[in-house]
Each structure stands twice: as structure tokens, then as C-alpha cells.
Chains A and B, each alone.
Chain A
Amino acid sequence: MSTLLLHHDVFTEHEPPQGHPERADRMRAVERILSHPHFEDLRREEAAQGAREHVLLVHPEDYVHAIEQSSPTEGEIALDADTWMNPSTLEAVYRAVGAGTRAVDAVMNLEVNNAFCAVRPPGHHAETARAMGFCLFSSIAIAAQYAREAYGLDRVAVVDFDVHHGNGTQDVFWSEEDLFYGSTHQMPLFPGTGAVSETGEGNIFNAPLSAGDGGDLFREAMLSRIFPALDAFQPELVLISAGFDAHERDPLGSLQLKEEDFAWVTLRLMDLAAKHCDGRIVSMLEGGYDLAGLSSSVGVHVKALMHGTGEAAQPVDEDEY
């Protein structure tokens, strides 16, 4: 098996004001864990800037133009209470898009089995024409639409286990019966969407969890609601919105997941991808705001992608180096 890691230094240069939870240190924590010798077999590439025409597969021209025009030459500007741009943000969001589309190319062309995009800012809250919740472009929805456009895929799925509901991805997919969106998330919580009753064209599957819920209820939600729907959908490509803020240590969520739960869901998604689409998975980082919880969870997630079952569920011991 082989796994591609897409990354770029600019992801540590996008920096909201001091005290903001979606901070560059998140990316440094991810870089640190993925520099461990356990990950030396990762194939590593710098993420190029995504093509504007690919962004336009999801976002209208007026919106893209407005984001580009908002980019400051110095300092930071707020698009809303959560969502900021500094002089590096525009490049970062374009490289996050480029990471997703390059990852799609790599798995579709059988260069690698799967890919992880270590990117920020996240994307799953960005709606077609609205930046919110730290997100500007809906990177994973763009990757999904790109896969359909470039490779003629009929059915592309996104599974999202971030603690917050991916309202943006749901918004983009809402009327697209051949795009699957399945999400576990805490409710009530930002952004307020994600009820079971939100079903789109029968292609949206929300499985809300309650504050305090742990791995057993997370797994039950996946097993009873998300996985059967995904299996029936028969995806030709599986994308993962990999947010790790459902971790028990996270300050922005109240779920109680542990590293082994992230390993478990990764392995089960790999099983389903193996059954339906030769294992093709592209995973993109979304949230995760406790640096220790984020890095160890990314560690087990990427280990699972690299090695499948076996040692995957064991967290990397950072004390080893």
C-alpha cells in the first residue's frame, strides 16, 4: 500500500489573530507527528495552487472574486466573527484546493492507494457563496466535483466525522443525488444544521450525537446509519472530511472520542472503499483544536491509511524521539 501526503508551508502562514483556535500551531503539531520515523514511507508532495476553474465548479464567480478582493496586503481582516484572512490566506485556500484535486488525480491514476491532505484553513463550513466557521472554499466539495468532471465518476461520497456538522458540503451536495454526504457531529452546536431530517435528494445522511457521547455511540451511529447508506450508494471514490475535534480533549466539542475511534472509522471506511472502489480514499484535514489530541489522532488516521489493519490503532509515542 502507498499513501500520499500533500502539504505546503503556507498552511502555517495563514494565521488568524492571537487566541483564535484555528491557529498555525495546529499545522505545526501535524507536521511534527508526521515527521516521526513511523511515517517515513509516506510519499510527500507540496500542494500546488488549485485551478480557479476548479473552484468555480462549486463557488460562483462573484463569490470567488469577492474572496480574492478581500485578501489583505497586511494585517488581518474578518469575513465574519470566526473567519479571517491575512496576506497568506488566499494562497493557503488555493493550495488546500490544489491538494484535494492533486490527491484525486493520484488515487484515480493509481499512483497511490490513498492520500491525506494536511491543509488549513478547513473547508467544510464554506457554503457555495458564504465563508463561515474558519472556512473560505469548500475544498472537499471541490475535490468531489473535480473527480466527476475530470474522471467521469458518477458517484462520489464524503464522510465527515468532524465534531461540527459540515453545512457547507451539505449545501453543495443538497440537490445532487449522485454526491453522498454522511456526517456524525455533536448537536446542538455550531453551525446548527445536521438534523436527521435534512436528507437532500436522499443523498444526505446525518447522524447527530449528544454532548458527552463517546466511542461506543459514535461507532453505533456509523454502523447503523452512515456505513449502510454508503454501502448502498456504491461510491466510486470516498472522500473523508477528517476533523479531529470530536476528540475527548478538544476545547470546541464535548464528544469523547479517543485515538482508537479515529483509527476504527478510518479502517472501516477503507474496508468499504476496498469493496466498492479499489480502496480509493482522499482524506482532508478539517478541525481539531487540541494540539495533543489533534497530532495523535492524525497519527493513527494516517497510520491506518498507510498500513490498514494491524498496528494502525496504536498511537505513535512521541516520546520515542
Chain B
Amino acid sequence: MTDKAPAIADMTFEAALAELEAIVEKLEAGKVSLEDSIAIYERGEKLKMHCDKQLKAAEARIEKITLKSDGSAGGTEPLDVD
């Protein structure tokens, strides 16, 4: 099922989250065949990791801003996020 799906690394947060939500809905509703179920689940896991990584990066940028000693929002340079 992933042959024609977009590469996860290139997806925006919103697109990845939308696909993840669709996957969860399909799995919970039993709309996926047994044979495809695990592949779809694994793509969901990768989408979740992609979303988590982007969220973590965004949180780090916010942290960088709030850590400015003079209290001003003086930049949004991202921290290194692994």
C-alpha cells in the first residue's frame, strides 16, 4: 500500500498528521485487510515519528526563544534536535 504513497520525509506536519489520522480511523474501523494491516500500521508508526520529530523541533525553537536572557524573542534559530 505504500508504493504510491509520498515519501514521509518530504511531508509537512499537517499532511503527515492527516494521513496518520486516516490510518488510525481505518484500523479502528476494521477497514483494512489482514494482509495489509501491518504494513499500514508500520507506515502509521513512521508518520507518527515524523510528526513527533517536527513537534520536537518546534518545541526546541520555542524553548530557544523563551531562554533569551533579556526576555525578548530575539531569534528562532533551531537547536540541534536528534
A206 nearest CB across to chain B (Å): 14
Q: In the complex, what distance in Å separates the CA atom of A167 from the CA atom of B28?
A: 13
Residues A190 and B45 in contact, CB atoms below 8 Å apart:
no
Q: Which of A33-41, A56-64, A150-158, A247-255 contacts B (4 or more CB under 8 A)?
A: A247-255
Contact digits for A243-264, partner B, Cβ 8 Å, 1 yes 0 no:
0000000011110000000000
Residues A188 and B35 in contact, CB atoms below 8 Å apart:
no
Known: A82-B34, A191-B34, A252-B38. A211 touches B45 (CB 8 A): yes
Contact of A43 with B by CB under 8 A: no
B3 nearest CB across to chain A (Å): 14
Contact of A80 with B by CB under 8 A: yes
Give the contacting residue for B30; candidates A134, A192, A251; CB below 8 A. Answer: A192
On chain A, the residues within 8 Å of B37 by CB distance are 164, 189-190, 252
Contact of A21 with B by CB under 8 A: yes
Give the contacting residue for A189; candidates B27, B29, B31; CB below 8 A. Answer: B27
Interface class of chain A by DSSP = loop
Contact digits for B19-50, partner A, Cβ 8 Å, 1 yes 0 no:
00000100111111111111001100100000
On chain A, the residues within 8 Å of B45 by CB distance are 211
Contact of A125 with B by CB under 8 A: yes
Please give the number of chain B residues whose Cβ is less than 8 angstroms from any Cβ of chain A in the complex: 16
A89 nearest CB across to chain B (Å): 16
Q: In the complex, what distance in Å separates the CA atom of A274 from the CA atom of B31?
A: 40
Give the contacting residue for B34; candidates A188, A190, A193, A211; CB below 8 A. Answer: A190
Residues B35 and A211 in contact, CB atoms below 8 Å apart:
no
Greatest chain B CB density within 10 A among A20, A81, A188, A211 is at A188
Query: CB-nearest residue of chain B relative to A135?
Result: B34
Residues A188 and B41 in contact, CB atoms below 8 Å apart:
yes
Please give the number of chain A residues whose Cβ is less than 8 angstroms from any Cβ of chain B in the complex: 22
A256 nearest CB across to chain B (Å): 14
Give the contacting residue for A252; candidates B24, B30, B31, B34; CB below 8 A. Answer: B34
Query: CB-nearest residue of chain B relative to A195?
Result: B28
Contact of A100 with B by CB under 8 A: no
Query: CB-nearest residue of chain A relative to B36?
Result: A81
Residues A189 and B38 in contact, CB atoms below 8 Å apart:
yes
Contact of A133 with B by CB under 8 A: yes
Residues A251 and B38 in contact, CB atoms below 8 Å apart:
yes
B77 nearest CB across to chain A (Å): 35
Give the contacting residue for B32; candidates A167, A190, A253; CB below 8 A. Answer: A190
Q: In the complex, what distance in Å separates the CA atom of A3 from the CA atom of B33?
A: 35
Q: In the complex, what distance in Å separates the CA atom of A253 from the CA atom of B31?
A: 17
> Which A residues form the contact surface with B (CB < 8 A)?
20-21, 80-82, 125, 132-134, 164, 167, 188-193, 211, 251-254
Sample of 9 more A-B contacts, CB < 8 Å, known A190-B33, A192-B28: A21-B35, A125-B34, A132-B34, A164-B34, A189-B27, A190-B38, A192-B29, A193-B30, A253-B38
Pairs A–B under 8 Å by Cβ, sample size 29: A20-B35, A21-B35, A80-B33, A81-B35, A82-B34, A132-B34, A133-B34, A167-B30, A188-B27, A189-B27, A189-B37, A189-B41, A190-B27, A190-B32, A190-B33, A190-B34, A190-B37, A190-B38, A192-B27, A192-B29, A192-B30, A192-B32, A211-B41, A251-B38, A252-B35, A252-B37, A253-B38, A254-B38, A254-B41
